């Protein structure tokens, strides 16, 4: 999930919203696209070498117990949850191995809305039509959007993750990199066990603590999961996806989903369009955009769904979208622009729409972390300040790119691509 700024949690209800930890959002999108199953167990030699680590981890668990107790976790719950829990080196390996490479939007969408995912999504809609209709009715969120989240988070329940959540979160909390965040998640996971929503054996999910069909992290689960089946349990782990799908709809509704509004609409921009207007910060009504010559792909005015921005996820050489408030609501699931477009576009495909019409600049690519830093240094050196060299393309860097592009007679779309970096190096 997604997406990619480091937004840390400020309060449970408003920001926890991310169903994946903030920096998981900063990870390559495929992590949230398809939480993978557990790899083979580490070789015995490695396990032996790490016995000192294991002893230290067990000491950490004992030191953590009073803090859990203070947070309301009974010793009975704690001891049941931690029975035979050991340090999980695989989790740490994955935490360290997060790729610095960001997938391009077109590669992401090739997978997010692959023929297989569209086909399986249509089958999932058919198989679960009754419950999805009921969920749509109760929460006002399109069933295709809920199904698309399901499709991206776990391939419609196929890859829910098989890590023991207590073990994974305890390992990450003990490890210390973002230890506070994971300890908060661990306490929330223990509370799930304490309330009896599921059993320690069923409390499974991704290595980073995302659980069930639509990959809720424990604090999001606590705040937003619902019991749709009415059996008294909010069971997002069960093979029956009803509670998980309803929880996703409840989550989106809670974050302001506007019924009947699309996430976005692919549009065509007129010749001579002022690309400075293609910014998330600039919103206009579809009628105002139409007056500026913005049309849908059939050449019609876009209907007045609400205020909208123009988004060019791959610069002016790729597709353009008019995006609405629901775009932002989906981003509460995962901040990645690719993720949000992935969910939105997949939902459109599930409704029967065709592929995105515009081409992508497939001969170009997005920049790696070191390249983004190099780009920022070069821009700054040329007098276009990026407000620091941190490898993240935020508003200041985009403004610097646009100013540089304008100065060179390049379309000022603010897109950080390899092509741009090559121009800067000259
Ligand atoms: Ca239930």
Check whether 269 has a pLDDT greater than 60.
yes
Supply the pLDDT for residue 49. 55
How far is Cα 250 from Cα 326, in angstroms, rounded to an integer? 14
CA–centroid distance, residue 242 to ligand 1 (Å): 8
pLDDT at 43 exceeding the cut of 60: no
CB 57 within 8 A of CB 87: yes
Q: Is the confidence at residue 32, as pLDDT, over 50?
A: no
What pLDDT is recorded for position 394? 87
The predicted-structure confidence for 366-401, as pLDDT tens digits, reads as follows 899 999 999 999 999 999 999 999 999 888 999 999
| Residue 2 pLDDT level (bands cut at 50, 70, 90) | very low
pLDDT of residue 320: 98
Instruction: Name the nearest CA neighbour of 263 among 332, 175, 206.
Output: 332
pLDDT at 375: 97
Distance, in Å, from the CA atom of 151 to the CA atom of 139, rounded to the nearest integer, reads 19
Q: How far apart are the CA of 42 and the centre of ligand 1, in A?
A: 36
Least confident of 40-54, 67-81, 310-324: 40-54
Better-predicted residue by pLDDT, 201 or 97 = 201
CB under 8 Å to 385, separation ≥6 — which residues? 379, 396, 400
Averaged pLDDT of the chain: 89
CA of 300 to the centre of ligand 1 (A): 45
Tokens (6 digits) for 327: 């775009």
Instruction: Name beta bridge partners: 321.
Output: 266, 311
pTM listed for this prediction: 0.87
Distance from residue 243's CA to the centre of ligand 1 (Å): 6
Task: Assign 1 to helix, strand or coil.
Answer: coil
User: What would the mean pLDDT of 258-286 be, rounded to a whole number?
Assistant: 96
Record the tokens describing residue 46, joined without a space.
């490695």
CA of 114 to the centre of ligand 1 (A): 31
Q: Which residues participate in catalysis according to the annotation?
A: 153
- What pLDDT is recorded for position 46? 54
Phi, psi of 265 (to 5 degrees): -135, 130
**Per-residue pLDDT band at 105 (split at 50, 70, 90):** very high
Q: What is the mean pLDDT of residues 70-98?
A: 94
> What distance in angstroms lies between residue 246's CA and the mean position of ligand 1's atoms?
10
Work out the end-to-end distance of the chain between its first and last CA atoms, rounded to an integer number of angstroms.
Answer: 36
Structure confidence at residue 28 as a pLDDT band (50, 70, 90):
very low
Report the percent of the chain where pLDDT is more than 90.
81
Distance 224 CA to ligand 1 centre (A): 13
pLDDT of residue 44: 53
* 30 has a pLDDT exceeding 70: no
Of the candidates 159, 148, 348, the one whose C-alpha atom is nearest the C-alpha of residue 252 is: 148
Distance 183 CA to ligand 1 centre (A): 27
81, burial (CB in 10 Å: exposed 0-12, middle 13-18, buried 19+) = buried
For residue range 320-345, what is the model confidence (pLDDT) as tens digits?
999 999 999 999 999 889 999 999 99
CA of 230 to the centre of ligand 1 (A): 5
CA 234–ligand 1 middle distance (angstroms): 5
Greater pLDDT, 186 or 27? 186
Note the pLDDT of residue 50: 74
345-369 confidence digits (pLDDT tens): 999 999 999 999 999 999 988 899 9
CA 14–ligand 1 middle distance (angstroms)? 25
Top pLDDT among 169 and 94 is at 169
> Helix 165-175 vs helix 51-70: angle between axes, to the nearest 10 degrees?
100
């Amino acid at each position: 999930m997604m997406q990619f700024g480091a937004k840390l949690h400020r309060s449970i209800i408003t920001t926890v919203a991310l169903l994946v930890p903030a920096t998981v959002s900063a990870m390559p999108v495929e992590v949230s696209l398809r939480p993978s199953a557990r790899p083979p167990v580490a070789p015995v030699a490695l396990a032996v070498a790490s016995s000192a680590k294991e002893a230290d981890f067990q000491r950490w668990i004992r030191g953590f117990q009073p803090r859990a107790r203070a947070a309301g976790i009974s010793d009975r719950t704690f001891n049941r949850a931690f029975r035979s829990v050991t340090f999980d080196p695989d989790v740490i390996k994955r935490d360290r191995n997060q790729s610095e490479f960001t997938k391009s939007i077109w590669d992401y969408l090739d997978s997010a809305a692959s023929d297989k995912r569209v086909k399986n999504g249509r089958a999932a809609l058919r198989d679960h039509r009754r419950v999805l209709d009921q969920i749509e009715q109760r929460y006002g969120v399109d069933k295709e959007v809920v199904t698309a989240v399901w499709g991206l988070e776990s391939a419609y329940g196929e890859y829910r993750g098989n890590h023991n959540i207590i073990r994974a979160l305890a390992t990450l909390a003990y490890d210390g990199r973002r230890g506070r965040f994971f300890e908060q998640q661990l306490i929330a996971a223990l509370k799930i066990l304490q309330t009896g929503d599921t059993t320690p054996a069923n409390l499974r999910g991704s290595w980073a603590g995302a659980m069930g069909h639509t990959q809720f992290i424990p604090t999001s689960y606590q705040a937003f999961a619902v019991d749709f089946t009415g059996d008294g349990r909010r069971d997002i782990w069960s093979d029956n996806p009803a509670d998980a799908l309803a929880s996703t709809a409840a989550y989106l509704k809670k974050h302001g989903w506007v019924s009947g509004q699309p996430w976005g609409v692919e549009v065509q921009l007129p010749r001579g369009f002022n690309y400075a207007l293609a910014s998330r910060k600039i919103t206009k009504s579809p009628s105002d955009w139409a007056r500026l010559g913005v049309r849908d792909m059939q050449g019609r005015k876009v209907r007045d769904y609400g205020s909208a921005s123009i988004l060019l996820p791959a610069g002016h050489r790729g597709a353009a979208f008019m995006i609405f408030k629901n775009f932002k609501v989906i981003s509460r699931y995962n901040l990645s622009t690719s993720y949000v477009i992935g969910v939105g576009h997949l939902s459109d495909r599930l409704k029967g729409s065709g592929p995105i019409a515009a081409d992508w600049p497939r001969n170009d690519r997005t920049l790696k972390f070191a390249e983004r830093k190099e780009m920022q240094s070069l821009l700054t050196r040329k007098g276009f300040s990026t407000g620091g060299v941190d490898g993240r393309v935020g508003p200041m860097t985009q403004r610097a790119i646009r100013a540089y592009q304008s100065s060179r007679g390049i379309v000022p779309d603010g897109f950080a691509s390899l092509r741009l970096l090559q121009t800067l190096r000259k």
